[in-house]
Structure 1
Amino acid sequence: MRFDVAIVGGGPAGLALATSLGGSGLTVAVIEQQPEPALAEAGFDGREIALTHHSQAILKELGAWELIPATSISPLREARVLNGGSGYALRFDTSGRAESELGKLVSNHSLRRALYRTAVGKPGVTLIAGARVLSLSTELEGADVTLASGETIEARLLVAADSRFSRAREALGIAAETRDFGKKMMVCRLRHAAPHDGIATEWFDYGQTIAMLPLNGNESSAVITLPPDEMAALEAMDEKEFGDELSRRYRQRLGAMTLVSSRHVYPLVAVYAERFCSARAALIGDAAVGMHPVTAHGFNFGLRGQAALAELVLAAHRAGGDIGAPHLLRRYAAGHRQATRPLYLATNATALIFSQEGPGARLLRAAALRLGNHLRPVQQRIVSQLMETRPT
């Protein structure tokens, strides 16, 4: 089978790129190991995605936003960072801006379902689901992907979008810097007695980190980071014991808590590819940049990256040029690195500083929060980056 573009990975970034390119006259294949029903009706995985204003605009342009149920969209009005036992908080809000919200929180499974529908509904897009990639190679003329079924897919451009542990990236010979934080992250939904008022809280306690992301009603998405042995104990608790334990760990800030979803645990690993392109190939999504969740920006980078690559590919296609030309891919790679590298490094540094618990680190953590509140221009630049807007 021959296509103009072959996308390895049918996650949100891959499906968004297929939607961006669909209907342009280009033929696009999306190769995904999961069976199609798992994409069409993606199951709850615990993750809530903090979407910037720019990401919301991209999803609206793709036609995906209108397919997301209103019950899966929650307003994010303010974010607070807490340190240890102190009640002092570094605050990020929309003061002085036209927008009333920092962004929206959207359930990951709802995003996946919406992007599946937009992709498969586009002319020129072919979904090859339930297919395992056996090998792939690229040359100056094009790319070849061999499936476990024995079928071979030829394309003028290959795009790797198959997670931060990307096998396609590895097959392309592209190394990645990996930072394993040595901890586990659990995500789940909790109902609580007290209102959250649309405020997200990131609490860097000593020995644990707990983020509470406000959902509709008196519910929050909890993101708990712990050493592996402590996480195993938390996983083993029954629902009643778990709710009581989270209430205790969170010091009753939101009152009594009840577990209202399944629990999901993920390794806490950040990944940054050394290159975002090679001959006839490009990386997008987590295959390019797999973020630590502390700034909740990974999905936004995925959307931004696919949009940037699609813009260049479509411009070349309209001009009758080569959609996999080296200069085009280098331009994408340079732009995406410039857009992602500073925040990637800052996020990792923040995670490391706030995970240290010695006397000096505790003083530094406390000072950083107070300094952040008093340096208004810096705070506003951070808010602008988190929202992907400009201050008024």
Structure 2
Amino acid sequence: MQVDVVVGGGGPVGLCLARALAQQGRTVAVVERQPRTALAAPAFDGREIALTHASRRLLDRLQVWSRLDAGTIAPLCQARVQDGASPFALAIGGEADTGQPLGWLVANHRIRQAAYEAALDQPGVSVLDDVGVAALRRELERVVVTLDDGRLLHTRLLVAADGRLSGLRRQLGVGAELHELGRSMLVCHVAHARPHHGVALEWFAYGGTVALLPLVGDSSSLVLTLAPQQAAAMMALDPTAFAEEVTGLCEERLGAMRLASSRHLYPLVSSYARRLAGPRFALAGDAAVGMHPVTAHGFNFGLAGVERLAAALEGAADPGASPPLQAFARAHRRATWPLYAATQLVARLYTDERPGARLLRRGALRVAAMPAFRQALRRHLQH
């Protein structure tokens, strides 16, 4: 099978990239290990994605946003960050003169389904499901991809979009900075007695972080980052005991809580690829930059990479040629590395319970609360 581009990984970033490149008139094959039934109707996985304005605009252009159920999209009006029991809070957004939310909360499984439907509707896109990449061979003018079932794909560009522990990245010989953060992320939906008013709450305590992300109605997405033993113990609690424990952890900020969904546990690993592109290949999504969830920028960076790679390849006769790929790599690194590096520092600082670290992070929050910083951050989210 001969195609212009092979995208390894049928997650939402890979599918959005496939549609964006096919809109340029290219033929794209998406290779995904999950079966078609899982792609067409993804299971609830507990994760809610905070989408920026830039991400929404791209999803609009790719006709993904219009496929989402508007009744399940929750506006994010303000974010408040605190350090433990300190009464001081860094507030981002919520100013009366903006008239716009900071962003929107959308369930990950709904984005996956909408992106799959959009990819299937785009002429030029083929989705090869229930199969992986067994081997690949890079030649001067093409890449030969051998699938698990023996099929061969001949392509001018291979894009690895198969996650932060990317197997394709390893096959391409690209190293990555990997950080196993020694924490697990427990996510679920909770219902609560008091309204959230569209405000996301996040605070640092208990050797980890607690976040409540506003959903539709009097419910929120609860995100706990805890030591693995603590997280496993929370998973083992029955729903009533879990609700009582969570109400205490959240210091009754939104009143009494009850479990409103299944619980899901994920190990926290961040990553940054040492190369974002090379001879006839590029990296996308978490295979390129796998962010710590504390800044909620992982998927937004993935979509920004889709936009940058598509823009770099626009009009290129050969999508695997070096100049456009290197232009993409430079632009994406400039845009992502500073926040990635800063997030790594924040993650270490806010899981350090030594007295000096506690003083330092309280000071950092007050510096971040300066009007110029808050306005710059709000503009970044709403750009």
Match status 1:346 vs 2:352: no
Shift of 1:96: 7.0
Structure 1 residues 287-326: aligned runs within 5 Å:
287-316=287-316, 321-326=317-322
CA contact (8 A) 2:102 2:382 kept: no
- The aligned residue for residue 188 of structure 2 is 188
Amino acid at match of 2:163: S
CA contact (8 A) 1:137 1:171 kept: no
Match status 1:335 vs 2:312: no
Structure 1 Cα separation of the partners of residues 179 and 377 of structure 2: 23
Match status 1:262 vs 2:262: yes
Amino acid at match of 2:50: A
Shift of 1:72: 2.3
Map Cα deviations across residues 26-50 of structure 1 (whole Å, 9 max, x no partner). Answer: 1110000000111111111111101
Amino acid at match of 2:373: V
- The aligned residue for residue 13 of structure 2 is 13
What is the TM-score with the length of structure 1 in the denominator? 0.95
Structure 2 Cα separation of the partners of residues 42 and 71 of structure 1: 18
Cα gap change, 1:98/1:249 in structure 2, threshold over 3 Å: closer, same or farther?
closer
- The aligned residue for residue 373 of structure 2 is 378
Shift of 1:94: 4.6
Amino acid at match of 1:378: F
Structure 2 unaligned spans of 5+: none
Structure 2 Cα separation of the partners of residues 170 and 363 of structure 1: 41
Structure 2 Cα separation of the partners of residues 128 and 173 of structure 1: 24
Structure 1 residues 14-53: aligned runs within 5 Å:
14-53=14-53
- The aligned residue for residue 145 of structure 1 is 145
Amino acid at match of 1:151: R
Map Cα deviations across residues 185-229 of structure 1 (whole Å, 9 max, x no partner). Answer: 011000000111110011101323101000011000000011111
Structure 2 Cα separation of the partners of residues 194 and 260 of structure 1: 15
Structure 1 Cα separation of the partners of residues 364 and 18 of structure 2: 42
Shift of 1:231: 0.9
Shift of 1:337: 0.3
Structure 1 Cα separation of the partners of residues 214 and 265 of structure 2: 20
- The aligned residue for residue 156 of structure 1 is 156
What is the TM-score with the length of structure 2 in the denominator? 0.98
Amino acid at match of 1:384: R
Shift of 1:255: 1.0
Structure 1 Cα separation of the partners of residues 96 and 142 of structure 2: 50
Structure 1 residues 60-209: aligned runs within 5 Å:
60-95=60-95, 98-209=98-209
Over the aligned positions, Cα root-mean-square deviation in angstroms equals 1.2
Map Cα deviations across residues 116-138 of structure 1 (whole Å, 9 max, x no partner). Answer: 01101111111100012111222
CA contact (8 A) 1:277 1:333 kept: yes
Amino acid at match of 1:121: D
- The aligned residue for residue 244 of structure 1 is 244
SS at the partner of 2:304?
helix
Amino acid at match of 1:115: A
CA contact (8 A) 1:192 1:258 kept: yes
- The aligned residue for residue 54 of structure 1 is 54
CA contact (8 A) 1:79 1:199 kept: yes
Map Cα deviations across residues 140-189 of structure 1 (whole Å, 9 max, x no partner). Answer: 21111111101111101100000001000010000000111101001100
Structure 2 Cα separation of the partners of residues 121 and 10 of structure 1: 15
Shift of 1:99: 4.2
Structure 2 Cα separation of the partners of residues 306 and 388 of structure 1: 19
Percent identical pairs in the alignment equals: 49
Shift of 1:51: 0.5
Structure 2 Cα separation of the partners of residues 8 and 63 of structure 1: 22
CA contact (8 A) 1:120 1:126 kept: yes
CA contact (8 A) 2:32 2:130 kept: yes
Shift of 1:102: 0.5
Structure 2 Cα separation of the partners of residues 292 and 310 of structure 1: 25
Structure 2 Cα separation of the partners of residues 249 and 97 of structure 1: 34
SS at the partner of 2:314?
helix
Structure 1 Cα separation of the partners of residues 162 and 120 of structure 2: 18
Structure 2 Cα separation of the partners of residues 71 and 190 of structure 1: 18
CA contact (8 A) 2:77 2:93 kept: yes
Shift of 1:22: 2.0
Cα gap change, 1:238/1:206 in structure 2, threshold over 3 Å: closer, same or farther?
closer
- How many residue pairs get matched? 383
Shift of 1:97: 5.4
CA contact (8 A) 1:277 1:283 kept: yes
Deviation beyond 6 Å, 4+ runs, structure 1? none
Shift of 1:73: 0.6
Structure 1 unaligned spans of 5+: none
Map Cα deviations across residues 56-102 of structure 1 (whole Å, 9 max, x no partner). Answer: 00000001111001132101000010111112211101537544210
SS at the partner of 1:18?
helix
Amino acid at match of 1:382: L
Shift of 1:388: 4.5
